[in-house]
């Protein structure tokens, strides 16, 4: 498959994932409101509800980070810079984009960013584990 076709396919995948994340986040917020409006039962139920709220909140945060990365990738597609390394300007290999569709740096630059402790690498490549810096 030509790079151009692969990038078009990647756009469709990103849009589908973005829409799924938006729906999931909207559902999480509704669920949290519903839980808050219900009167708690006994202490165990209240503790369980609190724990569930925390899990839902953390999942929403992870999904929000991924959504921001996807939005950034879609914007880069509009600008014509998707698949281009933000550091060296070279092409990011399709294998990397297949594995991480919102990658903004090539593997070589990512490794160098990690060695130097630059937060751009963590933000761009690991939205789930690291802090998102916009």
| Structural domains of the chain, with CATH | 3-125 (1.20.120.910)
- Measured between alpha carbons, how far is 11 from 60 in angstroms, rounded to an integer? 23
Q: Supply the pLDDT for residue 66.
A: 86
Q: Supply the pLDDT for residue 131.
A: 38
Q: Give residues with Cβ within 8 angstroms of 40, minimum separation 6.
A: 46, 49
Q: Supply the pLDDT for residue 130.
A: 42
Q: Give residues with Cβ within 8 angstroms of 52, minimum separation 6.
A: 35
pLDDT band (50, 70, 90) for residue 128: very low
Q: Supply the pLDDT for residue 129.
A: 40
| Comparison of pLDDT for 23 and 115, the residue scoring more | 115
106-115: long-range pairs with CB below 8 Å, 24+: 109/85, 112/87, 113/87
| Comparison of pLDDT for 116 and 36, the residue scoring more | 116
- Measured between alpha carbons, how far is 21 from 118 in angstroms, rounded to an integer? 28
pLDDT of 15 over the 60 cut: yes
Q: Supply the pLDDT for residue 19.
A: 83
The pair of three-digit structure tokens given for residue 22, joined into one six-digit string: 């938006």
What are 48-106's pLDDT values in tens digits?
A: 566 666 666 777 777 888 889 999 999 999 999 999 999 999 999 999 999 999 999 99
pLDDT of 17 over the 70 cut: yes
């Amino acid at each position: 498959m030509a790079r151009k076709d692969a990038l078009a396919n990647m756009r469709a995948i990103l849009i589908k994932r973005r829409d799924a994340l938006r729906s999931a986040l909207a559902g999480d917020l509704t669920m949290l409101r519903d839980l808050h409006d219900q009167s708690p039962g006994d202490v165990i139920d209240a503790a369980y509800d609190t724990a569930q709220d925390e899990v839902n909140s953390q999942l929403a945060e992870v999904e929000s980070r991924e959504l921001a990365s996807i939005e950034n990738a879609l914007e880069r597609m509009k600008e014509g810079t998707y698949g281009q390394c933000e550091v060296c300007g070279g092409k990011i290999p399709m294998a990397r984009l297949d594995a991480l569709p919102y990658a903004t740096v090539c593997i070589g630059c990512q490794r160098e960013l990690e060695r130097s402790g630059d937060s751009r690498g963590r933000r761009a490549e690991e939205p789930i584990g690291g802090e998102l810096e916009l």
